[in-house]
Structures are given as C-alpha cells and as structure tokens.
Amino acid sequence: MVWSIKNELIEKSKEAMMSAIQIYNNPLIDFKSEIYIVTSVISWTYLMHAYYRSIDIDYRYYSMQGKRKKYDRTKHGAYKYWELERCLDDDKCPLDRGTVLNLKFLIGIRHEIEHQRTDRIDNYISAKLQACALNYNRALVKLFGEKHSLQSQLSLAIQLSPLDPSQEKQLRGEAENLRCDNIINFVTEFEAELTEKELKLQSYAYRLIYVPISVNRANQADKAVEFIKADSEEARNVEKVLLKVVEKPKYLPSQIVKIMKNEGYESFSMHYHTQLWKKRDARNPKYNYGVFIAKQWYWYENWLDVVRKYCEETYKT
C-alpha cells in the first residue's frame, strides 16, 4: 500500500509539472506564468509528499493528545496534509538552498496572483521559472531514480521574434504600465533579504545567453542554440548577444548606508548619501543608477560603486 501511494504521488507530480511546462510553452496563452506557478507548486507538493512517505514521515497535520495523535481534518472529514512551504521548512527536506529559495519565491508570487490581477509578468520572473523546471527534474531523479526523468520529454520553447536589448527594454517599459507593480515590489523585497551568493545560485534563478552560430561541419547544422559559459573564451568571441535578461540587484538607501558602515566608513550617514545623490543628479534616468518602484527609489549596483568610491576618497585614513 505504501509503495502504490508513493508512486501514485510521483506520477501525479510528474503529470502536473508536464502540464505546467506545456501550458507555459503554448504561444496562444497569455496567462502562462501564473498558470505555470500554480500548477508547478502542486507538482512540487506531491513530490515532497512522495518523498516524506518514502522515509516514513507523517506529513499530515496533527496535535498530540496524551500519547495519541489527533489529526486535523477539513469540514468534510479529510486529512489536512502539509502545504509546500511546510514541506520545505521541515528538517528532513532533501532540497538544496537554491531550490528552496526558488520555490519560496514562487509561492510568494502565487500569493500575489491569487489576490490581484496581473499582466505580462514573464519578463520579471522567467529566470525563476526556468530554474524551477530544471530543479524539479534534478530532484525527481535524485530522490526516485533516473527512470522517472522528464528530460527526454522536455524541449526549449521556440521564440519566433528575436529580441535585441532595445526591444527588450521597450517590452519592459510597456509592462510597467500594466498591473504588475505588486509583483515588482515582491521581487524587490524578497531579493533584498538574500545574500549575493544566494542571488547567484543557478538553482534559484537560471539565466541564459542565446547566440546565433555559424557551422563548419554538416553534423552541426541543426544546432539552433548553443550554451556557453560566460567567462569562457567562446563567450569573449561572441559578436552579438541577442538577449540577456538579468534581474539587477536593487538597494534601498538605508541598505546603501548600512553596507558602507559595514565596510568601515562609520561616518557615512543617510544625510551624506542624500547630499551625494543630489549633487551628482543621480536620479536622472540617463545615468541608470536606479529606478522608482511603487513610489520608492531603489539604487542599482553601479550607484553603490559610486558611493564606495566617494567614501574611499572622503574618509581616507
């Protein structure tokens, strides 16, 4: 009985993830990110239930009455099973830090889209969606064996309209006029709590560079996409990157001040920071030092470099 329930959970999990990916790759669906997130959270929940069942951990909610368990039930009498976030927080959770962060990020986005209408949020979270799918297949194989791998059934979605940086910027500009402020705010607040190391984990967000390639041999002629490491010799020789979307780290003014103090510039304060950005006209869009999000200004990393240089020159020892 244990075996059959565990395997039923695995199959339901795989079916849900395949559905999520197929929907996301469907060019006729506009609400694809939202459906992908909701369905993939269901998929991961089933996968975690299957894992906990396989190691004999009771993933139902209960309270102890003496030496007996009293299980929590719905109004119709069904057991209340752990939701995904509870599965992730358990000491026996088998997932790595980046995967857990990725899933908690998507759970947070799901909460936003459940309560507010959204439009075209893909540009802001696509790296997280890609990581979620890759993480899922890796976890599936690690926990239950290669026979369950979905790799042979998955493929890259076809992009019919190649984007250059100016097109991508225009699309983001259009999206900012739509209903996605709550998503942007959530992303900013969530990532403000992460370390630089956590932000760079590929299991948290998976980013790619797509490059056109010419081939010298006939057996290479069917390669549409080639994956190369950013710091490799091949990357340095790429003539043009068609699209590279990277979510920039963003800092509140108070975070900038705190970072400088932590680096030893104790005299630097919010007052001096305000004086500096006003003197440099740093909020002028032409400098691209930061961005307004829901009436709050956030600074990019290039402004942090300016502040650091200022502190180095001003507070010389």
Residue 14 domain-assigned?
yes
- Work out the average pLDDT over 137-162: 73
**27 and 131 both lie in a single domain:** yes
Residue 159 pLDDT > 70? no
Q: Is the pLDDT of residue 202 over 60?
A: yes
The answer to the question of residue 206 being in a domain is no
Q: Has residue 217 been placed in a domain?
A: no
Across 253-272, average pLDDT: 93
Is 230 part of any domain? no
Residues 243, 204, 185, 84, Cα dihedral to 10°: 140
Q: Is residue 182 located within the same domain as residue 42?
A: yes
Mean pLDDT of the 205-231 span: 51
pLDDT surpassing 70 at residue 230: no
How many domains in the chain? Answer: 2
Residue 238 resides in a domain: no
pLDDT tens for 9-40 read 999 999 999 999 888 888 778 788 889 999 99
112 in Cβ contact with 181 (< 8 Å): no
Domain-located, residue 21 = yes
Helix (H, G, I), strand (E, B) or coil at 20: helix
Torsion of CA 119, 125, 126, 132, to 10 degrees: -120
pLDDT score recorded for residue 18: 92
Please say whether the beta carbons of 187 and 247 come within 8 A: yes
195/276 same-domain check: no
pLDDT of residue 113: 78
Residue 43 lies in a domain: yes
Domain shared by 88 and 15, yes or no: yes
Residue 13, domain extent: 2-151+163-199
> Does residue 42 sit in the same domain as residue 117?
yes
| pLDDT per residue as tens digits for the range 275-306 | 999 999 999 888 888 888 767 899 988 999 99
Residues 43 and 186 in one domain: yes
Residue 232 domain flag? no
Other beta carbons less than 10 A from residue 165's beta carbon = 12
pLDDT at 223: 44
Average pLDDT, the chain: 79
Q: Are residues 173 and 290 in the same domain?
A: no
- 93-125 pLDDT tens trace: 999 999 999 999 999 888 887 766 665 666 667
